[in-house]
Structure 1
Amino acid sequence: MKWTGWLTAILLLLGGGSQAQVQLNLEDAVAGKVIQTKGMGAMSWLKDGEHYSRVEANPEQGGTDIVSYRAKDNEREVLIPASWFVDKATGKSVPVRSISWSADNSKVLVYTNTQRVWRYDTRGDYWVLDLSDKSFRQIGKDRPESSLMFAKFSPDASKVAYVSENNIYVEDLTSQSVKQLTTDGSETIVNGTFDWVYEEEFGCRDGFRWSPDGQYIAYWQSDTEGTGVFDIIDNVDSLYPKILHFPYPKAGTTNSAVKVGYVPVNGGATTWIDIPGDPRNHYIPRMEFIPNSNELFIQQLNRPQNTNKVWIAQIGSSQPKHIFTDEDKAWVETNDHIRWLKDNQYFTWESERSGWRHLYRVSRDGKDIQPITAGDFDYISTVGMDMKKGLVYFIASPDNYTQRYLYSAKLFGKGEVKRESPMDEAGQHSYSMSPTGKWAVHTFSNAVTPPVIDMVSFPGHKSVRMIEDNAEAKAQYKALGLNPKEFVKAKSGDLMLDVCMIKPVNFDPNKKYPVIIEVYGEPAGSTVQDVWSGGDLWNQYMVNQGYIYVSIENRGANAPRGREWRKCIYGEVGTFACEDQARGIQDLARQYPFIDLSRIGITGWSGGGSQTLNCMFRYPSVFHTGIAIAFVSDQRLYDTIYQERYMNTPQNNPEGYRKGSPITYANGLEGNLLLIHGTGDDNVHYQSCEMLVDKLVEYGKMFSQISYPMRSHGIYERKGTSLHLRKSMAKYWLEHLPAGGK
């Protein structure tokens, strides 16, 4: 379709011919107005495992109610009416961002007035509601506004601990007295939370833990002194630039020094746990109390992240005991969802030691390691456990790597697994399971089916009732008359790759069409997924301008295809990805003559932007037009934890960094290239774009560029940004990659 400037595609209903037309408007698609799905929203299972709570708007009184639903029959009860969330001093309602329950469900913490810290709103104000007397008061009132982080009840709900300005505090809910547990917090000493790189790459935000007896708090401390500081320049919000400084360790440079310790809640000195190893060249990404004990279970990674040592530390001592080591020639992951079995005699552990990711049962001394799941498939993630029946429920997909299903296995069995998800629902299944493993909120979707949510009971995966069928969203999607996303295969040498494809509604198999490839290609994610993605409206919009959409899952992508698939790229991130993308699209063209190999475009975001550049620079005869967004041009510019996990350090692997970095091959650019980057990107810095631009100019290469002032890695902040981004991309494709079948 010729570019008109209106960015509107007129689509015919499937099979409808001229009898009906439905308009797919890009502005509405970007604003989320075309297909409106309904979900569960935030929910929390209550302690009894028979009820869950939700935060719901109160249309009559305003504000929000906390409502419980009984799993068995959907009996609804307003646990906390909106009228209870009122500041008695002002008479005003306190907005509820989220809530957390005390262990005995007698009190509720309300999180409100939140502020964003990097990616998430992790700083704000907290209020405590006591259900016994309906008292509602703010905690930490002597602290600066919106400065509290990660507030949580003590096990007996008599106190609340929180972080403010890098120090840890405990507030007694009866006396309202506040005890400051740490005093050395500063711009460089971080207590109870984490620096940028731990948050981004290990998912570490909440940095302290209550002991089960409520007498101690264990916490992380980061010393960022000596870590390289990155500056982001804000040129748009004031007459003179503002500069944001933050520690950011780039690959091969100095990390923060991180240690863990524990402190009495009544005050006193911190006991630091003496874990061997240079704290700047080791990581401590996980620490939890073993249930019903005063023992800490600590995971320590070495800097290359190919060894995970497990330690147990006892309150009252500074000397930990090493019990277990998991290692890999490439890298190991942190272990989450650890569960302790048989009075803490065993713990669960995920490992790829067999060549596939599986769940193991490890004895407390680390000497007895037995598989809970076994076979030539990957254990993807834990859903929950039924401890009475001795079962673990988990997600896997042995037969189709683009889909996800629920399986179960015996915790003390021989590795046999059983599929639980319905056989007639092909796609992806996810679950929020009750603490008892008896109930779960089940969500099913696939690429053409909006989420269907029901309550299921176990054992047997019996559907008890429908919660949300999204029939309206399904009708809205159907009315657009779009061609569905298809899942096919392509070859890269002898390797078979998963591929998805979308064709335009007026597709003519006798014509040849240009292709827009969407790529990610790095170990942190995957793109070929048989799951609802809002109808893929952006891709559908572009397809119906006269393109074919394709995404190819290259080696190294995070797909459940075994250790070798994921880790064969170790030390060479970026090299295999572009090779598979080039071979994959050429093989698709051999299979499908309607693919025009003279009109191949490619685009990606973040790691996908990097792979877009590698493809454009290294295979210019294959890829003719590219749009690279928020990309890493030189792998030395990215952070230590992510880049070194897959590449080791630049000092130890200089050739791998050279080969994997697009900037190395910038002189190979022959086609049309658009670079897009946010100048406020704290993740992949705008520096990466500037360095590439400098190199392209040196080589006399022509390109286009859009810089979005003070937008972060997602390039969505500030009015009009998302629509402008998509309009710019559409305009570039239509001007530089001729659309339509020929």
Structure 2
Amino acid sequence: MYKKQVWFYVLFIVSCSLFAQTKQVSLEEIWGGAFRANYMQSLQSLNNGTEYIVQEYDRASAEMKVEIYNYKTGEKVRTLFSSNEMEGLNAFQTFTLSENEDKVLLGNQIQRIFRRSTKGIYHVYNLNSKKLTPVANEVIRSPHFSPDGKKVAFVLNNNLYYKDLASNKTTQVTEDGKINEIINGVTDWVYEEEFSLVRAFDWNKDGSQLAFIRFDETEVPEFSMDMYGTYGNDLYPSQEIFKYPKAGEANAKVSLHIYDVASNKIKAIDLGEYEYIPRLQWTNDAEILSVQTTNRHQNEINLHFVDTENYKSEIVLSEKDEAYVDVDFDLTFLADNSFIWTSEKDGWNHIYHYNADGKLRNQITQGNWEVTNYYGYDADSKRIFYQSTENGSVNRGVYSTKTNGKYKKELAALEGTNSASFSTDFTYFINTYQNVEQPPVYTLHDAKNGNQIRLIENNDELKNKISQYDFSEKEISSIEVNGNELNMWMVKPTDFDASKKYPLFMYQYSGPGSQSVSNTFMGSNDYWFQMLANKGYIVVCVDGRGTGYKGRDFKKITQKELGKFELEDQTEAARILGNKPWIDANRIGIWGWSYGGFMASNAIFQSNDVFSTAIAVAPVTSWRFYDTIYTERYMTTPQENPSGYDNNSPISHVNKLKGKYLLIHGGGDDNVHVQNSMQLIEALIQANKQFDWRIYPDKNHGIYGGNTRLHLYNLMTDFILENL
């Protein structure tokens, strides 16, 4: 009797386990957050290098705190400050410490403007005196401490101000700011989007001078978007109007200025000929400002040093490329004002060390692989810390090396993706490791040798949950296409049978320097791909020519012809895969978002003998509609390169549509304007082509909010099931 009970119990457990492993994923789970991984919230290292701070909210007491933790033990040490100790401020959304950590800038009522920009109400809290001081009594932008923590500069109504915290006096630096005409100290739309730059001012090391960029966008054409609001609450649409320079049109005229606090005077700086000022940064010398300028084609970048004793500018470093030169944030000044710089001038992105006069000291890293993240320089150990593709272009490892390029150490390079966050003094780093099967694992390491000190989070709960579902392996491999080995991943149905034929559904982004095939864990789309696979589809992604991390030549081959080589590779990859005995070559679909939507549209139009179905979300339909900085970097202007713009534009090929096509766009997209889809819709109508389309009112480029994403993916899923 006892043995029978045991066997019954074992069989019950096994059957439950088998049942659990056959769960099918739903869109409600995917977009309801059921598979959300545990992530470490953004932490900030304190100057001592042994402690870090994290913002936390106590729901029971409605108290917002910033807590101090010990790196080595992970234990909470003390509370740095709390909303309960402040009179006049019940809560805060953001915080920024001054460099000497005796004051904190607190943000509240934060409102998003565009992708990276915000505005809000800000206060300074003195951690010693416990005094709370408003920076301004109005909504402001980009408040920033001076290095000594005695002043805060900010932008209000397109003018630059600063507040002296000791005297409580506010000084207006500029007076000509005007919405949609003149901007001082913050960037216009296109700089924010394409140069990732929002705050366009910087204090020098002793807080005596303030450098800023002025934008004159008077001649930049305006773009307007009708916003329809919520049903029942808005009787009339509102309109958002902002300056947006489209390819070939006038950019804002930008100029560099330096404000002297003592004299209360502004000096305009002559930088010679240039189109853009994408970076400004004071060096370790309080009298030397570094500025980067580039021409309109962005194939030449100059690093200027401005000496504020005479306000003269000198070019200390110049880089040129037949295609374009990337702008990044990797410039670091050492104590002697020599500097670290990254460049792909030898064909791969690497780290270089230059003297203060711009003379090359040495190339620090080299090889047929790319530096993908420059973490910084430790003056004590004289070591550079970086992330790279040394272990393969789909993987990432963390390394350190001396400034002479010798004595390299592998700190975290387990096959997969490693990403590091270092303490201020480079004593420790928190490594985030993941691969296609492993959710993010967070571990603390000794930065000297990479030895693991402790496990912080392993996401085992998510991994165990996923094991209950009927998910397939995400297979990373490569495919030879048009003479190149292209990275590829594939997801097959769990009950895959090589004797059957399956429809093929291809995903891609394909934009310059991008990567969609990587050894990383699943995101929301991956769960959707798993769902599609278990409905009988083979899902594939191929990174074709023009994508990143395989060298300069592979990436820049698409110059002046965006869409040409990318389409050739997607089409040929589809043909090769369609020849597999288990793929139905008559049922090949493709989809993508943004640049990927541009590509999916081109595929269904120009390669109509290969692709029978396509979905394009928020696509660029002609590069003539997109912004100057991004588009002209790769295409030059429409006036110079009309055939490059038109030959590979989906609008130019609407008459070739044969298959099933779904076009989707957000009506409030400030990035890829809904104009792109509206013009394509009209072209398709006039070509008498039948297709499906959907506009999501007031939604931006991400098309989200409320049930929007769930609705969108239900729409796309139904379209695939019905047409592929």
Determine the C-alpha separation between the residues in 1 that align with 2:419 and 2:76: 24
1:50 matched residue in structure 2: 50
Determine the C-alpha separation between the residues in 2 that align with 1:568 and 1:649: 18
Matched AA of 1:656: G
Q: When the two structures are superposed, what TM-score results if normalisation uses the length of structure 1?
A: 0.92
1:361 matched residue in structure 2: 353
Determine the C-alpha separation between the residues in 2 that align with 1:183 and 1:358: 43
1:656 pairs with 622, 641, 644, which one? Answer: 644
Q: When the two structures are superposed, what TM-score results if normalisation uses the length of structure 2?
A: 0.94
Tell me: CA distance 1:118–1:267, structure 2 relative to 1, closer, same or farther (3 Å): farther
Aligned partners of 1:299 and 1:309 also within 8 Å: yes
Post-superposition shift, 1:20? 5.1
1:455 matched residue in structure 2: 444
SS of residue matched to 1:583 = helix
Tell me: CA distance 1:84–1:210, structure 2 relative to 1, closer, same or farther (3 Å): farther
1:263-278 equivalent positions in 2, closer than 5 A: 263-266=259-262, 268-277=264-273
Instruction: Point out the more displaced range, 653-662 or 449-458.
Output: 653-662
Matched AA of 1:72: K
1:73 matched residue in structure 2: 73
Aligned partners of 1:61 and 1:82 also within 8 Å: no
Determine the C-alpha separation between the residues in 2 that align with 1:19 and 1:240: 52
Post-superposition shift, 1:221? 0.8
Matched AA of 1:387: A
1:420 matched residue in structure 2: 411
Give me the identity figure in percent.
34
1:299 aligns with 2:299: no
1:725 pairs with 698, 712, 715, which one? Answer: 712
Determine the C-alpha separation between the residues in 1 that align with 2:285 and 2:444: 32
1:511 aligns with 2:500: yes
SS of residue matched to 2:713 = helix
Per-residue CA distance 1:605-656 (angstroms, 9 max, x = gap): 0000000011111110111000001001111110000000011111111111
Tell me: CA distance 1:19–1:367, structure 2 relative to 1, closer, same or farther (3 Å): closer
SS of residue matched to 2:37 = coil
Root-mean-square deviation (CA, aligned residues, Å) is: 1.9
1:585-664 equivalent positions in 2, closer than 5 A: 585-590=574-579, 592-664=580-652
1:87-98 equivalent positions in 2, closer than 5 A: 88-89=87-88, 93-94=90-91, 96-98=92-94
Tell me: CA distance 1:186–1:458, structure 2 relative to 1, closer, same or farther (3 Å): same
1:329-728 equivalent positions in 2, closer than 5 A: 329-341=322-334, 343-344=336-337, 346-413=338-405, 417-422=408-413, 425-534=414-523, 536-558=526-548, 560-590=549-579, 592-717=580-705, 719-728=706-715
Post-superposition shift, 1:524? 4.7
Determine the C-alpha separation between the residues in 1 that align with 2:517 and 2:228: 39
Aligned partners of 1:180 and 1:267 also within 8 Å: no
Determine the C-alpha separation between the residues in 1 that align with 2:574 and 2:605: 16
Determine the C-alpha separation between the residues in 1 that align with 2:30 and 2:262: 55
Instruction: Point out the more displaced range, 692-701 or 332-341.
Output: 332-341
Tell me: CA distance 1:221–1:533, structure 2 relative to 1, closer, same or farther (3 Å): farther
Tell me: CA distance 1:671–1:417, structure 2 relative to 1, closer, same or farther (3 Å): farther
Per-residue CA distance 1:380-436 (angstroms, 9 max, x = gap): 11123222221111111134211111122211236x7443214xx321011111222
Per-residue CA distance 1:687-718 (angstroms, 9 max, x = gap): 1111111111111111110011111111113x
2:239 pairs with 237, 243, 254, which one? Answer: 243
Matched AA of 2:364: I
Structure 1: tracts of 5 or more residues without a match: 1-12, 738-742
1:5 matched residue in structure 2: none
Matched AA of 2:609: S
SS of residue matched to 1:24 = coil
Aligned partners of 2:116 and 2:196 also within 8 Å: no
Aligned partners of 1:555 and 1:565 also within 8 Å: yes
1:37 matched residue in structure 2: 37
2:282 pairs with 289, 296, 321, which one? Answer: 289
Post-superposition shift, 1:241? 2.7
Tell me: CA distance 1:528–1:321, structure 2 relative to 1, closer, same or farther (3 Å): same
Determine the C-alpha separation between the residues in 2 that align with 1:15 and 1:74: 38
Instruction: Point out the more displaced range, 451-460 or 165-174.
Output: 165-174
Determine the C-alpha separation between the residues in 2 that align with 1:696 and 1:268: 59
How many pairs are equivalent?
A: 706
Matched AA of 1:254: A
Tell me: CA distance 1:342–1:158, structure 2 relative to 1, closer, same or farther (3 Å): closer
Aligned partners of 1:66 and 1:78 also within 8 Å: no
Determine the C-alpha separation between the residues in 1 that align with 2:434 and 2:364: 28
Per-residue CA distance 1:164-184 (angstroms, 9 max, x = gap): 111111112222221111111
Tell me: CA distance 1:468–1:240, structure 2 relative to 1, closer, same or farther (3 Å): same
Determine the C-alpha separation between the residues in 1 that align with 2:422 and 2:394: 23
SS of residue matched to 2:125 = strand
1:190 matched residue in structure 2: 183
Matched AA of 1:74: G
Tell me: CA distance 1:58–1:601, structure 2 relative to 1, closer, same or farther (3 Å): same
